Amino acid sequence: MASEEELDNADAEAMYRHGTFDACAAHALLAQKVWGALRGLGVERGRMLVLGDHAAVHAGISARGQVSTSIYEEWVAAIPPAGQDGRYPWPQDMVRLRSFTEHDPATHDVVITALPWSDVHFRSEYGKQRIAQIHNEYLRSAIAHAFPGGIVAAVASRQVLDGPETAHRELFLDNADLLGAARLPATFFRPDLPVENAEASDLLFLRRRLPGEPVRSADFLNLHPVAVPGGVEYVNEYYGFTYPEHIVGTAGVVGDADHDAARYTVRCDDEPVDVVLHHVVSRIVAQALSRGLVAVSASWHPPEARLAPEADRSVRAQAPRPPSATLRGDAPSL
């Protein structure tokens, strides 16, 4: 059996190779679904912060004809209004991006983040723990950057929801409600990624809670046992108990040579992934609306008069800068 040091070296190699595979088309597909959900949740206009892999694509820049590997970016932009036909299309031709700086406002109506290496299977314990730590910190920062009533859409490692410790999920729940989640197939972003290096990732939708609002979150704190060939895997109760239909594909196992066993994965072999993802995201929006969780933000529809001045505040005093952020074009280091 490989040592922890050997597994750590294998993780470094996997991260390097991961960055050589094109993921632009998959991010474009996901961006289209995310913007459909945001409009369905009531996002009309305002200001957005978009950061992470292919952030420009998620903000609304067309990916047609583009071929690119992993790109870490940070952008802010005004959210384009509806087109002349009343629709909110993606790509959004009216979007005008500018680099995210220390002088940008503290909070935004929408925060979109595609966290780096969400779909990498980390073989070492250090790698698993470190990626979970980084993604948990980024998600807390993303929530802090959203106005009360604002929406956060995030792609994150499944370790965020499936990690054994509930403390970080409790911190999310202190400030935001989980509207819903979609578990993506392991090779969704990079079909050429070797399956032994691929991991299922999650698309999360959260809404920052307004002052005094009750908790109306979907359940996502605890883990639930799921039977797999040769044993049992523990996955978040959201998928394992409440909404197994929000897995975009079929949960199964793949060989884990490091432990001479099988490990959890998600495949989408039977139906077109874009069709399945569309249905899952549509259900998430419908369930959020049924709980009264719509986008309400201070910059365009103040829930309280005292929140309105926050919309144009130019000093970023409330929210810390995303942890481990580096110059645009680089990804944070493990």
Q: How far apart are CA 297 and CA 42, in angstroms?
A: 10
The SS3 of residue 202 is strand
The answer to whether residue 324 scores a pLDDT higher than 80 is no
Contacts of 81 (CB under 8 A, 6+ apart): 44, 45, 94
**Weakest mean pLDDT among 78-87, 205-214, 260-269, 309-318:** 309-318
Q: How far apart are CA 131 and CA 117, in angstroms?
A: 8
Q: Which segment, 79-88, 153-162, 295-304, is predicted with the most confidence on average?
A: 153-162
Confidence of residue 83 (pLDDT cuts 50, 70, 90): low
Q: How far apart are CA 59 and CA 327, in angstroms?
A: 19
Report, as an integer, the average pLDDT of 165-186.
96
- Give residue 297's pLDDT: 72
- Give residue 176's pLDDT: 97
Longest dimension (CA), the chain: 62
Report, as an integer, the average pLDDT of 277-284.
97
The answer to whether residue 169 scores a pLDDT higher than 90 is yes
The answer to whether residue 63 scores a pLDDT higher than 90 is no
The answer to whether residue 281 scores a pLDDT higher than 90 is yes
- Give residue 84's pLDDT: 66
The answer to whether residue 108 scores a pLDDT higher than 50 is yes
| Domain residue spans of the chain | 4-77+106-216+271-299
Contacts of 175 (CB under 8 A, 6+ apart): 143, 144, 208, 209
Summarize pLDDT for 11-35 with one digit per residue, the tens: 999 888 888 888 999 999 999 999 9
Q: Is 204 left (phi over 0), alpha (psi -120 to 50) or beta?
A: beta
- Give residue 85's pLDDT: 65
Query: Which has the higher per-residue pLDDT, 44 or 223?
Result: 223
- Give residue 319's pLDDT: 40
Residue 220's Cβ-count burial label (10 Å; 0-12, 13-18, 19+) is buried
| Contact by Cβ (8 Å): 136, 160 | yes
Residue where the block lists tokens 């920062």: 141
Report, as an integer, the average pLDDT of 5-13.
91
The answer to whether residue 62 scores a pLDDT higher than 60 is yes
Closest CA to 47 of 112, 138, 128, 136: 112
**Weakest mean pLDDT among 127-136, 147-156, 225-234:** 225-234
List beta partners, residue 154.
113, 204
Q: Which segment, 41-50, 187-196, 276-285, 321-330, is predicted with the most confidence on average?
A: 276-285
- Give residue 162's pLDDT: 96
Closest CA to 119 of 164, 70, 84: 70
- Give residue 87's pLDDT: 67
Confidence (pTM): 0.88
Instruction: Write down the H helix ranges in the chain.
Output: 4-18, 24-40, 55-59, 125-144, 159-162, 167-175, 237, 273-290
Compute the mean pLDDT over every residue in the chain, rounded to the nearest whole number.
Answer: 85
